Structure 1
């Protein structure tokens, strides 16, 4: 294996949970020959970028943290964005990771040099291009790093203010403005209640109504925080209880969809309780099985939609014009600002940056053609020594992504150990292993709620689910606990 000062040279892309967690693991292994390349000037990834009003996690705080670094000081059961970002900064400081980060260094592309068994990584830094070499390349920038603007004609013609929720313009005063919100996903249901009291008129454009459950958020009092700080076992017990409570939700999603009947009835009753107007309630009633699209948690979104300065429109948007929007029925709607809560580019898109492997194979081209695909969401055939964290089919619809991230980090660490033990320079998952794994995975997905009839960002345009893990998280942990050398081809 090519080395630098006796250890592999490793390039990590991104400084969110995945990148920081990977760096901590490497340091624990005694490896310090790595660099985290971060496009921004500060760490945090998703939790740095998504600073819109009301941004918070929809997984309870004690589970949405590294298992090795519990935080006894969470102030709420569902942590707000600022606390999560502060937690990540704390982890980076405690484990001395910041000195390994190259700031304002955007990875634009990478090419595998087979003759020398190294990755040539292209980096844009302060407007200038440069290249670095790495023995291993770890893409830890995640699927929620590229905001998706709506594909609506005329967006560039609008003369008012336009921004995406992940690029919130905090300098723009919403007070007294006529504001359009496009999208009703996980971000929109958090910021809509926060901006509704500030604006003159708020119009929410909805394509498909989400299933909404109440968000059982509450403050964590000082006494409980004291207990967690001084009796760590109490917090570990709370974390375990939350984990298994959430893991049980997969029973309805992947084992028996009839188990979803009771929560669907509960959600319908919740909607009826919060929205008395039958016309508005009908617009907000989903017509697909709960879980087919992401289930959203909110206790203030539905009440916000009932306020006199709010309108919910379900008519498709035909085009955007200089002073507003025109819907498919020909009605013109004037606005001062448009906020896009339209999610992220997850499917039917390139790889997170240009990646060329053996024989100049283009990963982005393959993923556009066949949908993103990998082995255990981590390795891709034909791309030696390239590893993904939160790669294809590792996202969840029921539990904490930090659990999945830690599973992949440990798996990648074991890959490095296998390389070192074998004295190999490269490892690449066998094409037949990757193919068989994904055939099994897609067969499993056909029996889940995520292929029950709706279309969501979980799927490509063709309907292939390339985002979600089709089962329990403990199953993924078991499969990634140890690397099977027979799954890989090694090069010296």
Structure 2
């Protein structure tokens, strides 16, 4: 009888649930998930700001094996997505395996026992054969480095730490940042605030958002004829694959996308001065392309001002922009995103010979297939380096990763191996290939949050999702060292 492999998973978001379901469905029952919070869901638990939602249609932003015929609209909002994650965890037996209030602070590989010793914030430890990191790429909110940021006397908070006790009605509100979260929340804040000041460092390419509520007819069809929902999912996937391919510099999709975005801007913003502020001066796709039909009209409201100079200082009741202009405000909301280079740096992970993962990744995180790191046996990373997407659904990628990880665990047990790690040669060749492709993509010629300070693009996968799914479909044992 093959030995039972114990599997510990850090996190409880989509990536963690994907791995847990895959393992459980294939007979790997010794699974535990460690969650630092008091609820599951990852970013969909934490981001509760007004308008929070996904810019990937819900039929695709969901597990292929768990379609939801009850989505209320094509682009679901945070609360509904969070409820979906809970439902999947319940249905597939993951919920009872989650340990809450368990913040992982360190993990060390023991070569003698071929196990990982995991340390928690309270000083306790657990030991597992296989360690899975599912902390994601966008889990640590990032505040800007501003002089006097702690001196502001009024309410101030990050979008991922929304203060629901603050009433914005009748207030002058500053929103610092104009990326994905700002695009979603600004229309709601503009309706409440007496005045809104948006500090925008660079404008975004904004596409029309083909959102709509699902009617009773849709829901009935999805229930009685599930193929209709699968067909919708397949159609959305096909469109988004073409969009992702358009991020290749040689693609003709870029100019088409540019025309669509500019037409959207001109249609929704009549004021030429405001339109100029909102016109990007970089290639489409260089930074995240966003989708909204509400953002531009919100910015055109008489109570909204767009400031194109960055904030350089915070004082007790005002923000000072880079020109020295002072903006008196009552509330500051930081829509400044996340530490996109964090990966596992917030946890002290040590592999063979005590090598620190942070040291190996000092010049930017890298991993074979975004999952495997030489020198760190039995460590599996979901939504790791170079697996983020410029187009398409990350859930599709997470499912592909989970299937590959499960094959690794299958072979560990069947072959009675104690450990597995990718070879240096395999990882190096893969990294060179990915970086070369990224250099020739739209991201290779501009600055964005996908890039590490060293210059490496560490976040994104180059291109569409199908090539990744094909590449991870079957485990190639020769790419790994088994012991």
Same fold (TM over 0.5): yes
CA distance in 2, matches of 1:472, 1:317: 36
CA contact (8 A) 2:139 2:338 kept: yes
Q: Does 1:231 find its partner at 2:225? A: yes
Q: CA deviation at 1:349?
A: 7.1
Alpha-carbon contact 1:349-1:364 (below 8 Å) kept:
no
Q: Mark the CA change 1:477 to 1:350 in structure 2 (over 3 Å): closer, same or farther.
A: closer
- How far has the Cα of 1:482 moved from its partner? 1.4
Rounded Cα–Cα distance in structure 2 between residues aligned with 1:19 and 1:25 = 10
Deviation for aligned residue 1:255: 6.0
Q: Does 1:486 align with 2:478?
A: yes
Q: Structure 1 residues 479, 255: CA separation in 2 closer, same or farther (over 3 Å shift)?
A: farther
C-alpha displacement of 1:463: 2.9
Correspondence for 1:175 among 169, 172, 187: 169
Q: Deviation string for 1:66-94 (max 9, x for gaps)?
A: 00010001110101111111111111111
Structure-1 separation of matches of 2:85 and 2:246: 33
Aligned to 2:64, which of 43, 64, 67? 67
1:261 Cα offset (Å): 1.0
Are residues 1:387 and 2:380 paired?
yes
In structure 1, the residue matched to 2:196 is 202
Partner in structure 2 of residue 274 of structure 1:
268
Residue by residue over 1:243-300, the C-alpha shift from the partner in whole angstroms, topping out at 9 and shown as x without a partner, is 0111011232126244311221221121112111111111110011111100000100
CA deviations 1:295-332 (Å, max 9, x no partner) are: 00010001100111111001122211111211122121
- Of 434, 439, 453, the residue aligned with 1:441 is 434
CA distance in 1 between partners of 2:342 and 2:88 (Å) = 34
Q: CA deviation at 1:365?
A: 2.4
TM-score (norm 2): 0.98
Unaligned runs of 5+ in 1: none
Whole-Å separation in 2 of the counterparts to 1:345 and 1:210: 19
Please tell me the root mean square deviation across aligned C-alpha atoms, in Å. Answer: 1.4
**Separation (CA, whole Å) in 1 of partners of 2:92 and 2:454:** 44
In 2: Cα distance, 1:154 partner to 1:264 partner: 39
TM-score, length of structure 1 as denominator length: 0.96
Counterpart of 1:11 (choices 8, 12, 19) is 8
Contact 2:137–2:342, Cα closer than 8 Å, also in 1: no
Deviation per CA, 1:347-373, whole angstroms, max 9, x where unpaired? 277624211111111111222x22010
Say which SS state the counterpart of residue 286 (structure 1) adopts: coil
Choose the corresponding residue for 1:49, options 46, 49, 68.
46
Residue deviations 1:422-458, cap 9 Å, x none? 2110001101110110001101111111113x21111
Residue of structure 1 in register with 2:79 after alignment: 82
Q: Does 1:326 align with 2:310?
A: no
Which residue of structure 2 aligns with residue 399 of structure 1? 392
Q: Which moved more, 1:152-161 or 1:393-402?
A: 152-161
What count of residue pairs does the alignment treat as equivalent?
483
Match for residue 148 of structure 2 among 143, 154, 159: 154
2:284 alignment partner in structure 1: 290
Q: 111, 124, 130: which one pairs with 1:136?
A: 130
CA distance in 2, matches of 1:276, 1:349: 42
Q: Which residue is equivalent to 1:20?
A: 17
Q: Does 1:457 align with 2:454?
A: no
User: How many angstroms apart in 1 are the aligned matches of 2:464 and 2:324?
Assistant: 47
1:416-427 equivalent positions in 2, closer than 5 A: 416-427=409-420
* Aligned partner of residue 15 in structure 2, secondary structure: helix
Structure 2 counterpart of 1:304, from 298, 319, 338: 298
Q: Tell whether 2:36 aligns with 1:39.
A: yes
Picking from 356, 368, 376, the partner of 2:369 is 376
Q: Is the 8 A contact 2:343 2:384 kept in 1?
A: no
Mapped partners of 2:308, 2:473: distance in 1:
46
Q: Encode CA deviations 1:27-54: one digit per residue, 9 max, x unaligned.
A: 1112221110001111111111111100
Query: Matches of residues 118-137 of structure 1 in structure 2 within 5 Å?
Result: 118-124=115-121, 128-137=122-131
The Cα of 1:161 is off from its aligned counterpart by 1.1
Work out the CA distance in 2 between the residues paired with 1:430 and 1:311: 54
Distance in 2, Cα, partners of 1:63 & 1:149 = 31
**Aligned pair 1:476/2:468, yes or no?**
yes
* 1:382-401: CA deviation from partner (whole Å, max 9, x where unpaired): 00000011000001011000
Partner Cα separation in structure 1 for residue 118 and residue 474 of structure 2: 28
SS at match of 1:272: helix
1:174 touches 1:195 (CA, 8 Å); kept in 2?
Answer: yes
Could you tell me how far apart the structure 2 residues matched to 1:255 and 1:9 are? 44
> 1:455, 1:463 within 8 Å by CA — same for their partners in 2?
no
Distance in 1 separating the partners of 2:222 and 2:343: 43
Query: Structure 2: which 5+ runs fail to align?
Result: none
Say whether residues 1:354 and 2:351 are aligned partners: no
